[in-house]
Amino acid sequence: MDFSDKVVYQIYPKSFSDSNGDGLGDIRGIINHLDYLKTLGVDYIWSTPFFVSPMNDNGYDIADYRAIDPRFGTMADVEELIAEADKRGIGLMFDMVFNHTSTEHEWFQRALKGEQKYIDYYIFKDGTPDKPPTNWESKFGGNAWEYVPHLGKWYLHLYDVTQADLNWENPEVRAELKDILRFWKSKGLKGFRFDVINVISKPAEFVDDDQGDGRRFYTDGRHVHEFLKELVADSGIDGMITVGEMSSTSLDNCIRYTNPNEHELSMAFSFHHLKVDYKDGQKWELMPPDIAALKKLFATWQEGMAAAGGWNAVFWCNHDQPRAVSRFGDGQSTAAKMLATAIHFMRGTPYIYQGEELGMTNAGYTSIEQYRDVESLNYYNIMLKNGKTVEQALETLAARSRDNSRTPMQWSADKYAGFSTVEPWIIPPDNYTSINAQNEVDAPDSVFNYYRQLIKLRKALKIIADGDIKFIEPNNNDVLAYERTLGDEKLIVLCNFREHNVKVDAYDGFEKLLGNYDGLERELRPFEAVVLKK
Ligand code: NOJ
């Protein structure tokens, strides 16, 4: 199945809509807004997890893969969500967190009781409390191993200490995970998103990494392709829409993950383009985005995937990323439209993260009390320990925290942004009074209606879904520029990433499809996008 003309909308339920006045978003809140998504025109909803969880990582720490956390609703609500979305021609994709479980999962609890069967579900190593098995670092800070004194063993957690890595080498673990997929498929799901799926295969030997944090030993690991093929075939999900979240991956691996002949996944998220503002590659060190590097990365990935039959998931925003309009733009609607254009004309399936279609911005928090995210709170302390001042640490969080994308969806100018009737678990930015769905849905020039138009165009013009892609204007470090070709047809996409006017090449014989090209002498205004058509 081909997903080239489809568009996916990502929902972070905790921040989408609170239907029962407890300050937390819930499943019924999603059901209540399905017509909004139908108006936008998306084909699928990917919802991040709402399964039973202690919520140390907002649901990415799952304690029961088959039960709904009561804070989000009930299984009946989920079934209604699937059915109501289906009525509107929208398919549901759920988030499968299969690299790790919560330490509250029954499997881990039984491992803690010393049951060997369940010890073998995880990556436990014998040892003494003074020395972790390796020097690998957790992605959320600190060493990646935790000691369990009464077992005399360490367990691996690449993420939070309450997220224990599963042992995929164990066929019983793989069988359990296939069963979970079958369970959800039988509920009428149309697809799945697989959390950090390229780190599931760990090395045969666990040794110190003298060059880094250990990731080179398990990223795109030795059995990952074989495990994925087996998971997909045995659970009967081949042909459904599946997207893998790939951490620090390579182009070659992503081609293998997504080329249909491999029968692994239908598409992959890679994150290299979202590291162009990491100073020395460090997430917690700020620098302005390097647009030349961004262009090169897109060219490499877009052309490279096309040449070898791979397929991209294209995106700027998700629940782990700061808002693109604040990060690459000036927080205003022109930049929001430019960024949308850059992605939606590319070769791949576009993902829209809730609120992106309104031009929602970063949170603008100024005190540590406003933050909720485990990674942000951990790194705040690490930054202070490493000598940053409180001001510097807060400035870094304001740019990088995952909470920037987790603020409540801005439905209206009402108190709490129309998200809830009570104070939400995390507060909205002040700009909800102007940036909100109520203002935008019926305003023809709104960011919302621009996204609607982009989705319609993808379905109307085969060249957007299926054309070849080539990056152009390689020496212009201000403008992301590419052409799409299908037979005799051609599209030119030009996106100005600068706050000032910039020059572009002449494109004679083209007419304007989108943007403000007319009247300008080969010049794009600040943060403006133009699409030309032949
Ligand atoms: C990636 C998810 O997107 C993120 O939110 C989560 O913290 C980690 N995986 C760990 O599950």
H or E segment at 46? strand 44-47
Same domain? 407 vs 504: no
Q: Phi, psi at residue 400, to the nearest 5°?
A: -115, -15
Structural domain count, the chain: 3
Mutational pocket test of ligand 1: of 15, 97, 140, 315, the residue with most ligand atoms within 8 Å of the beta carbon: 97
Same domain? 421 vs 522: no
Q: Calculate how far, in angstroms, residue 195's C-alpha sits from the geometric centre of ligand 1.
A: 6
Report if residue 211 sits inside a domain.
Answer: yes
Same domain? 176 vs 263: yes
User: pLDDT value at position 204?
Assistant: 97
Report if residue 129 sits inside a domain.
Answer: yes
Report if residue 400 sits inside a domain.
Answer: yes
Which of 77, 195, 220, 403 is an active site residue?
195
How far is Cα 158 from Cα 391, in angstroms, rounded to an integer? 29
User: pLDDT value at position 516?
Assistant: 67
Helix 251-258 crosses helix 291-307 at what angle (to 10 degrees)? 40
Same domain? 78 vs 115: no
320 lines ligand 1 (CB under 6 A): yes
Domain ends where: 404, 426, 455?
A: 455
The string of DSSP codes covering 293-314 is HHHHHHHHHHHHHHHTT--BEE
Same domain? 400 vs 476: no
Looking at residues 511-532, what average pLDDT do you find? 83
Report if residue 3 sits inside a domain.
Answer: no
Q: Calculate how far, in angstroms, residue 382's C-alpha sits from the geometric centre of ligand 1.
A: 20
pLDDT at 522 over 90: no
Look at ligand 1, atom 6, and give the residue with the nearest C-alpha: 60
Same domain? 85 vs 206: yes
User: pLDDT value at position 382?
Assistant: 96
Domain ends where: 390, 421, 455?
A: 455
Pairing of strands 51-52, 64-68: antiparallel
Domain hosting 480: range is 467-533
Strand partners, 523: 503
Report if residue 460 sits inside a domain.
Answer: no
Report if residue 483 sits inside a domain.
Answer: yes
Name the average pLDDT for the chain: 97
Indicate the SS3 state at residue 309. Answer: coil
What does the pLDDT look like over 378-424, one tens digit per residue? 999 999 999 999 999 999 999 999 999 999 999 999 999 999 999 99
269-291 core/surface letters (b: 16 or more CB in 10 A; e: else) = bbebbbbbbbeeeeebeeeebbb
Contact 103, 130 (CB under 8 A): no
Same domain? 471 vs 449: no
User: pLDDT value at position 517?
Assistant: 61
How far is Cα 499 from Cα 429, in angstroms, rounded to an integer? 23
What does the pLDDT look like over 153-167, one tens digit per residue? 999 999 999 999 999
Same domain? 326 vs 410: yes
CATH number for the domain harbouring residue 495 = 2.60.40.1180
Q: Phi, psi at residue 172, to the nearest 5°?
A: -65, -35
What does the pLDDT look like over 363-386, one tens digit per residue? 999 999 999 999 999 999 999 999
Same domain? 84 vs 224: yes
CA distances from 419 to 329, 422, 432, 446 (A): 26, 9, 10, 20
Look at ligand 1, atom 11, and give the residue with the nearest C-alpha: 60
Which of 69, 77, 245, 440 is an active site residue?
245
515 confidence band (pLDDT: 50, 70, 90): confident
Same domain? 377 vs 496: no
Which residue in the block uniquely carries the two structure tokens 């509920």?
A: 187
Ligand 1 atom nearest the C-alpha of 97 is 11
Strands (E), 48-184: 51-52, 64-68, 91-96, 100-102, 124-126, 145-148, 153-156, 163-165
97 lines ligand 1 (CB under 6 A): yes
132 confidence band (pLDDT: 50, 70, 90): very high
Pairing of strands 241-245, 502-503: unpaired
Can 245 be counted among the known catalytic residues? yes
Query: 0.95 exceeded by the pTM?
Result: yes
Report if residue 293 sits inside a domain.
Answer: yes
User: pLDDT value at position 520?
Assistant: 58
Domain ends where: 149, 165, 181?
A: 165
Rounded to the nearest 5 degrees, what angle is found at the Cα of 361, between the Cα atoms of 49 and 454?
Answer: 80
Mutational pocket test of ligand 1: of 60, 139, 165, 248, the residue with most ligand atoms within 8 Å of the beta carbon: 60
User: pLDDT value at position 402?
Assistant: 98
CATH number for the domain harbouring residue 421 = 3.20.20.80
How far is Cα 404 from Cα 326, in angstroms, rounded to an integer? 10
Same domain? 185 vs 212: yes
Which residue in the block uniquely carries the two structure tokens 């002449």?
A: 506
What does the pLDDT look like over 45-56, one tens digit per residue? 999 999 999 999
Same domain? 241 vs 286: yes
What does the pLDDT look like over 455-489, one tens digit per residue? 999 999 999 999 999 999 999 999 999 999 999 99
Q: Calculate how far, in angstroms, residue 82's C-alpha sits from the geometric centre of ligand 1.
A: 24
